[in-house]
Amino acid sequence: MNVKSPGEYEELLPQPNTTLVRPSPWNQRLRIVAAFFAGILTCFSVLSYVRQPSCAIDQAAPSGAVELYAAPWAGSSEVHHYPPASPTNVNPSLFPTSVGYAGTTATGAEPAIVVTVPSYPVHTGAPNLVAPSFKGHRNHTSSKFDIFRYWGNLSPWFSVERGAYGLHSSPEVPDTCRITGLHLLHRHGARYPTKFPQYGGTEDFAARLNKDAAHWVAKGHLKFLNTWTYKLGEELLTPFGRQQLYDLGVSTRLKYGFLLKNFSENNAIPVFRTESQDRMVASALNFAIGFFGYPFEGQYQQSVTIENLGVNNTLAPYMTCPNFMQKDKGDRGTWYVRNWANRYLKHAQVRLGRQMHGFNLTIEDLYTMQELCAYETVAIGYSKFCELFIEEEWRGFDYAVDLGFWYNVAWGSPLGRVLGVGYVQEFVARLTHTPIATHNSSTNATMDDNTTTFPLGQSLYVDATH
């Protein structure tokens, strides 16, 4: 504690003979007003100085107002690396996960929802994701519209309603039947965009925005682009994608866990399959931890087939088919997608084009914005791009994605049946407990002729694919 000397203390006090001069009320008000305007001027000066490197003054707008260009970082990539390469506080010996004293660990009976409940459980699709508010589009979007269901293959998976495709059937087991086995073929979880898109291209769109940031400015609903950054990686599972596969594993165990009794009786464990791409391995392992729980080692075996040119793989057959690499055979869908986009996005181009000055928004750019809505939502939980389009345009996007898949890999493709026949041969071999006699497709003889890596007679098969 600092103690002031008596002399110093006295100097700080007003002396008895000192006459205090109080300013008049008018002077006080004048000083307050002057200080107020000085503060405003200072704020504008600081703001101008801070924004000087990031914004340039545009020409006067038609209304006479002055416009600012977008920030120079608009459209730039934003990356957060985790975990750190060499964290300084790592000491595994101080953080063991097994310290004993586990308590009671008695196992209960396996669940069997598909057998024991009156109706099949449904999956709504998008926990933890935030839907857009559709600002300014209320008259064009119905209250029951679920945007998450109109992103094509980018939609979070959900249970399809009965009769959705004209088939009057249900997932419930008929009274005259009983379940003896399950063949589950599932896709990977939500991911970042692929490196080489066939149409659109989110990373390329962001790079073009960033390259010309000194020459454009966005207004209205597009105003967020002035400071928007690109936060997506490439092809890896997103946090939501990991959750999807974990949840799928849990739900599958709840529905079909009773099938594991067959393995206990035969003193064996299941073999599940996936491919070598990072998101495929991650999807399979997240499914496993949901299905088996932690730790899953010793409860099943994970077969990982190489996904690369020259290696047969029924779960990624495009790598086995040289014709698929030819654009006129393996990329027939892009022509249909482009032509359909020119129709369903033409009004959006006019509407949003008015809000973008100095940058020409093409139809493909608008399609890319719709992709960004889906990719950003499943990556970071929410996307401003979703607010830009009306219900009809989202239905158009969903159909555009269908066109791409139909003509690239499905019934509209000359290669569709050839690509899919390998898995069908494996499926028949499992159902009939008969090895594949002739390998004339994408089947892998090394893996499929080995009863350890491709077992027959199991009651549970789980395959991860694209």
207: CATH:
3.40.50.1240
Does 83 map to a domain? no
Q: Let me know whether 158 and 42 are in one domain.
A: no
Q: What percent of the chain has pLDDT over 90?
A: 69
Tokens of 411: 């019934």
Q: Let me know whether 40 and 160 are in one domain.
A: no
Domain total in the chain: 2
User: What is the rounded average pLDDT of the residues 311-322?
Assistant: 93
Q: How many CB atoms lie within 10 A of CB 197?
A: 14
Element (H or E) spanning 60, and its range?
A: strand 57-60
pLDDT of residue 52: 43
Query: What is the rounded distance in angstroms from the CA atom of residue 375 to the CA atom of residue 156?
Result: 11
Does 100 map to a domain? no
DSSP conformation letters of 251-316 = HHHHHHGGGHHHHHHHT---EEEEESSHHHHHHHHHHHHHHH-S--BTTBEEEEE--STTS--TTS
Element (H or E) spanning 66, and its range?
A: strand 66-68
First to last CA, the chain: 71
Q: Let me know whether 300 and 186 are in one domain.
A: yes
Q: Let me know whether 40 and 141 are in one domain.
A: no
Last residue of a domain, one of 19, 43, 68: 68
Does 403 map to a domain? yes
150: containing domain: 108-465
* 156 phi-psi bin (left φ>0, alpha ψ -120 to 50, beta other): beta
Query: What is the rounded distance in angstroms from the CA atom of residue 69 to the CA atom of residue 48?
Result: 13
Strands 57-60, 217-218: pairing is unpaired
Q: Let me know whether 127 and 233 are in one domain.
A: yes
Does 311 map to a domain? yes
DSSP conformation letters of 219-259 = -GGGGGGGG--B---SSPBPHHHHHHHHHHHHHHHHHHGGG
pLDDT of residue 165: 76
Query: What is the rounded distance in angstroms from the CA atom of residue 305 to the CA atom of residue 422?
Result: 14
pTM for the full predicted model: 0.83
**SS3 sequence, 41-57?**
HHHHHHHHHHHCCCCCE
Q: Let me know whether 283 and 360 are in one domain.
A: yes
Residue indicated by tokens 């790592």? 90
Compute the mean pLDDT over every residue in the chain, rounded to the nearest whole number.
Answer: 87
Query: Is pLDDT of 53 > 50?
Result: no
Q: Let me know whether 120 and 181 are in one domain.
A: yes
Q: Let me know whether 42 and 167 are in one domain.
A: no
For residue range 229-238, list pLDDT tens digits in order: 999 999 999 9
For 363, the 3-state DSSP assignment is: helix
Q: Let me know whether 314 and 259 are in one domain.
A: yes
For residue range 429-452, list pLDDT tens digits in order: 999 999 999 999 999 999 999 999
Query: What is the rounded distance in angstroms from the CA atom of residue 247 to the CA atom of residue 291?
Result: 9
Does 95 map to a domain? no
Does 291 map to a domain? yes
User: What is the rounded average pLDDT of the residues 276-286?
Assistant: 98
Does 76 map to a domain? no
Query: What is the rounded distance in angstroms from the CA atom of residue 98 to the CA atom of residue 112?
Result: 31
For residue range 359-417, list pLDDT tens digits in order: 999 999 999 999 999 999 999 999 999 999 999 999 999 999 999 999 999 999 999 99
pLDDT of residue 23: 53
- Residue 170: pLDDT band (50, 70, 90) is confident
Q: Let me know whether 368 and 440 are in one domain.
A: yes
Q: Let me know whether 56 and 202 are in one domain.
A: no
Query: Is pLDDT of 55 > 50?
Result: no
Q: Let me know whether 204 and 59 are in one domain.
A: no
Q: Could you tell me the CA-to-CA distances from 112 to 108, 247, 266, 390, 451 in Å, in that order?
A: 13, 16, 20, 42, 28
> Per DSSP, what are the bridge partners of residue 230?
77
User: What is the rounded average pLDDT of the residues 308-317?
Assistant: 94
pLDDT of residue 196: 82
Element (H or E) spanning 391, and its range?
A: helix 391-409
| Minimum mean pLDDT range among 133-142, 275-284, 291-300 | 133-142
Does 131 map to a domain? yes
Looking at residue 407, its amino acid is Y
pLDDT of residue 124: 84
